[in-house]
Amino acid sequence: MSQQRIFVKVTGFSDVERHALNTVFRLSEGREVVYALWTPGAPDEPRVALVDGQSYEAGVELTATGAAAGPRLIWVGAIAPAHAWLTFERPMRWSDVVRAMDEAFMPPPPLDLDLDAPPELDLDLSVFDVAKPAGDARRALVIAVDMELRLYLRAKLAAVGLTRLQEATSASDAMEFGQTEKFDLILLDLDLTGADDWQLYRGVRLLQPEASMVLLTRQRGLGTRLKAWWLGATACLRKPLSPTALQEAITRVPKSRRQALPPPDPQ
């Protein structure tokens, strides 16, 4: 399958908005049309200019480029310039922006906007909604081997304003981060390969005793949930993940870890 790479010049937007947008672009890899953030030195010129009309940089960008021939302008905000190709007002969804670009650049036949997300991740594009979440000073650590799972978790964290995070793909990386940095939230995939994951959990917990820990696993036995509960995990979520359960887990700040999990179900 031949791919077409469309570079997008992004002007303005908050760190949270940019983080979610970059994740959408990364998830487009593998499709016929791939969207990528344009930077000076990119192999091609940008074909789309995505501008936050509420930013100071928007005025600078329009002054510099005017209405001359160039990238198609997508304007987010009120009072769009006359030459804007598309306009959106907040609150908006990044999925709508990507769908509009697909209509222009995707060759026929049109494809469903699933961004090649594996069905077991239950990817919900609503996590990329632009809703101006408040800044979040918390720090998170994601421990998982699977890249698409890490992307999904990163997007969910960004959706609640949590963008200060590290990613570990091995037990050694996780322990190194645990020794050198302080985290408020840790998400650990218990299906991490090449390690005794309960041993890893105990090691990270000793290094980060104050962190809320959310465990992810394909194991469905009652014993796993009981073990997580007794070891003080904030939540133990089954894969494929429920977006609602995940969001509740990462936004919850339990008063007591021992009381953080609901009573184990009998499944």
Q: Mean pLDDT of all residues in the chain?
A: 77
pLDDT score recorded for residue 1: 53
pLDDT for the residue numbered 194:
53
Q: DSSP per residue over the chain, as a string?
A: ---EEEEEEEE---HHHHHHHHHHHHHTTTSSEEEEE--TT-SS--SEEEEETTSHHHHHHHHHHTTSS-SEEEEESSS--TT-SEEE-SSEEHHHHHHHHHHHHPPSSP--S-TT--GGG---GGGGEE--PPP---EEEEE-S-HHHHHHHHHHHHHTT--EEEEESSHHHHHHHHHH---SEEEEETT-TTS-HHHHHHHHHHH-TTSEEEEEES---HHHHHHHHHTT-SEEEESSPPHHHHHHHHH---S-GGGTSPPPP--
Is 151 among the domain residues?
A: yes
Reported as half-sphere exposure (CB side, CA atoms, 13 A), residue 91 has a value of 8
Do 92 and 150 lie in one domain? The reply is no
- Residues 158, 223 share a domain: yes
Give the mean model confidence (pLDDT) for residues 215-243: 83
| Whether the Cβ atoms of residue 92 and residue 99 lie closer than 8 Å to each other | no
Tokens of 25: 């672009």
The closest alpha carbon to 215, from 151, 141, 265, belongs to 141
Strongest mean pLDDT among 71-80, 84-93, 158-167, 170-179:
170-179
Give the type of residue at 121. Answer: L
Judgement on whether residues 101 and 150 belong to the same structural domain of the protein: no
Question: In this structure, are 186 and 243 located in the same domain?
Answer: yes
Whole-number Å distance between alpha carbons of 148 and 26: 10
Supply the CATH number for residue 141's domain: 3.40.50.2300
pLDDT at site 258: 35
Total residue count of the chain as it appears in this document: 267
Q: In angstroms, rounded to a whole number, what is the distance separating the alpha carbons of residues 19 and 15?
A: 6
Q: Are 62 and 137 members of one domain?
A: no
8/132: higher pLDDT: 8
Q: What is the pLDDT of residue 193?
A: 58
Token output for 208:
């980060």
Question: Is 265 within the bounds of a domain?
Answer: no
* 71 and 187 co-located in one domain: no
Say if residue 121's pLDDT is above 50. Answer: no
pLDDT higher than 90, residue 6: yes
Residue type, 57: E
Q: What local confidence, expressed as pLDDT, does residue 46 receive?
A: 93
* 147 lies in the same domain as 77: no
Q: Which of 68, 90, 105 is the last residue of a domain?
A: 105
Do 98 and 184 lie in a common domain? no
- What pLDDT sits at residue 226? 79
User: Do residues 58 and 11 lie in contact, with contact meaning Cβ atoms separated by under 8 Å?
Assistant: yes
Position 125 scores a pLDDT of 42
Q: Average pLDDT for residues 181-192, to the nearest whole number?
A: 90
Tens digits of per-residue pLDDT, 107-116?
Answer: 754 333 333 4
Position 267 scores a pLDDT of: 40
- Residue 157 within a domain: yes
Mean pLDDT of 49-65: 78
Quick one: pLDDT at residue 188? Answer: 94
pLDDT of residue 185: 93
| Domain assignment present for 119 | no
Q: What percent of the chain has pLDDT over 90?
A: 22
Mean pLDDT of all residues in 66-93: 80
Statement to judge: residues 77 and 16 lie in one domain? yes
What type of residue sits at position 149?
Answer: L
Residue 160's domain comprises: 133-259
Say whether both 139 and 98 belong to one domain: no
Domain count, the chain: 2
**Do residue 139 and residue 254 come from a single domain?**
yes
